[in-house]
């Protein structure tokens, strides 16, 4: 099936769920049927959307989708207890170009969107699972945004400004007002946040030079270091954290292959870029219940493919395979050193080869 914009999430049972948009703009979902990787059929969730994000609907662990509709309003659909059946779509209003959602420390969901004025607007639940407040501006002039709660539970809005610098706006206290926009500098096209093991935040970005850049939060109070280049020439990135806490940067290179860049140790330097083959135009990385990373990719034929780490925190990968790979490869004996395994095989480069947030 031809799809776009893959996004992986974890169900309340600890299994994978993969979401995508079908050619007509509807949301699709496919869920693991067991911990070894067997998958059910695609489930059509409806809607006609441009982009979407998936978050927890509440403390019961069920999932909720927020999407930008073709009318530029935010639409939502969520699983209902006790068995997770999906309900009907609800219109939450607004006129936005892109959006993201975060869960506050008290369980309330909060939506953020880029308005037609390029400012950031937010809309929050007045109680967990309750009604929505209505849209309010926190100003700014931005091109895209993502959300991260910090170590104190304050929501951090990260956005690319119209000047191509990276900007942040943080709550003064959990659930409270925002303190105002602050520039982190840089010249970036897109970015992705990643949690560090010590509770701080790292930001990875594609610069205007197409290289990958990184800026680290120095401490949980919000001080930041300097931008550092990780090299490469890439089109898109997805960042995941391995079981042991090492950051793994995945990128689509200029050759459309998947490339990876791994930390040598938690908080340490990065090793050299390594090709994992394939021909993809969109990716998302995710960790499975065994702690192994999986990268889902949309191939140049618009079908969904995946590649799976053989063991947690090693550089040995399965060949690319057409999704779903109904059985994950068995766990291998751990390698003696991080860099001692062989490279993954590349797929044949034609429409039958075997191998998101907006």
Cβ atoms within 10 Å, residue 322: 16
Helix/strand/coil for 129: coil
Structural domain harbouring 35: 4-322
Residue 357 in domain: no
- What pLDDT was estimated at residue 317? 93
Helix (H) or strand (E) holding 57: none
Residue 336 in domain: no
Half-sphere exposure of 166 (CA within 13 A, CB side): 27
Residue 274 in domain: yes
Contact 314, 335 (CB under 8 A): yes
Q: What strands, in cross-sheet order, belong to the sheet with 136-137? A: 96-103, 109-115, 120-124, 136-137
Dihedral sign, Cα of residue 196, residue 201, residue 206, residue 211: negative
- What pLDDT was estimated at residue 64? 94
Note the pLDDT tens digit of each residue in 174-203.
Answer: 989 999 999 999 999 999 998 876 778 999
Query: What is the average pLDDT value for the chain, to the nearest integer?
Result: 86
- What pLDDT was estimated at residue 345? 29
Note the pLDDT tens digit of each residue in 315-356.
Answer: 899 999 998 863 454 444 444 433 333 223 233 222 222 224
Decide: residue 127, CB within 10 A, 0-12 exposed, 13-18 middle, 19+ buried: exposed
Residue 333 in domain: no
Residue 294 in domain: yes
Domain with 203 in it: what CATH number?
2.130.10.80
- What pLDDT was estimated at residue 164? 97
Residue 331 in domain: no
Q: Is the pLDDT of residue 297 over 50?
A: yes
Residue 338 in domain: no
Distance CA(271)–CA(276), nearest Å, equals 15
Note the pLDDT tens digit of each residue in 212-238.
Answer: 999 999 987 778 999 999 999 999 999
Domain count, the chain: 1
Note the pLDDT tens digit of each residue in 115-170.
Answer: 999 999 999 999 988 999 999 999 999 999 999 988 888 999 999 999 999 999 99
Find the mean pLDDT for residues 2-15. 86
Question: In this structure, what token pair is assigned to residue 323?
Answer: 């999704």
Note the pLDDT tens digit of each residue in 52-71.
Answer: 999 987 667 789 999 999 99
Contact 214, 230 (CB under 8 A): yes
With a pLDDT cut of 70, the percent of the chain lying above it is 88
Find the mean pLDDT for residues 252-270. 93
Distance CA(285)–CA(268), nearest Å, equals 21
- What pLDDT was estimated at residue 350? 27
Find the mean pLDDT for residues 84-92. 93
- What pLDDT was estimated at residue 172? 93
């Amino acid at each position: 099936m031809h799809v776009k914009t893959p996004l992986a999430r974890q169900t309340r049972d600890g299994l994978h769920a993969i979401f995508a948009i079908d050619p007509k703009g509807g949301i699709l979902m496919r869920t693991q049927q067991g911990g070894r990787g067997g998958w059910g059929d695609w489930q059509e969730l409806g809607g006609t959307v441009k982009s979407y994000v998936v978050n927890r609907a509440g403390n019961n662990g069920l999932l909720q989708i927020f999407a930008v509709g073709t009318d530029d309003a935010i639409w939502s659909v969520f699983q209902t207890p006790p068995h997770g059946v999906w309900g009907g779509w609800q219109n939450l209003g607004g006129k936005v170009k892109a959006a993201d959602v975060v869960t506050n420390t008290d369980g309330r969901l909060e939506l953020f969107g880029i308005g037609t004025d390029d400012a950031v607007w937010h809309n929050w639940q007045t109680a967990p699972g309750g009604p929505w407040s209505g849209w309010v501006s926190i100003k700014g002039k931005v091109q895209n945004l993502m959300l991260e709660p910090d170590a104190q539970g304050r929501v951090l809005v990260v956005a690319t400004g119209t000047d191509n610098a990276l900007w942040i706006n943080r709550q003064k206290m959990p659930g409270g007002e925002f303190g105002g926009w602050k520039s982190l500098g840089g010249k970036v096209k897109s970015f992705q946040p990643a949690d560090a093991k010590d509770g701080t935040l790292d930001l990875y970005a594609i610069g205007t030079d197409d290289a990958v850049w990184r800026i680290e939060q120095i401490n949980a109070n919000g001080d930041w270091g300097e931008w550092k280049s990780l090299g490469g020439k890439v089109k898109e990135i997805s960042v995941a954290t391995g079981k042991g806490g090492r950051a793994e940067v995945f990128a689509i290179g200029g050759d459309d292959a998947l490339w990876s860049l791994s930390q040598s140790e938690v908080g340490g330097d990065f090793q050299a870029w390594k090709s994992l083959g394939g021909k993809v135009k969109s990716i998302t990385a995710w960790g499975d219940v065994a702690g192994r990373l999986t990268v889902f990719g949309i191939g140049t034929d618009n079908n969904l493919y995946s590649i799976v780490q053989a063991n947690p925190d090693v550089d040995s990968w399965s060949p690319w395979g057409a999704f779903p790979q109904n059985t994950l490869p068995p766990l291998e004996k751990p390698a003696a050193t991080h860099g001692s395994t062989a490279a993954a095989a590349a797929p044949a480069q034609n429409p039958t080869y075997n191998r998101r947030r907006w």
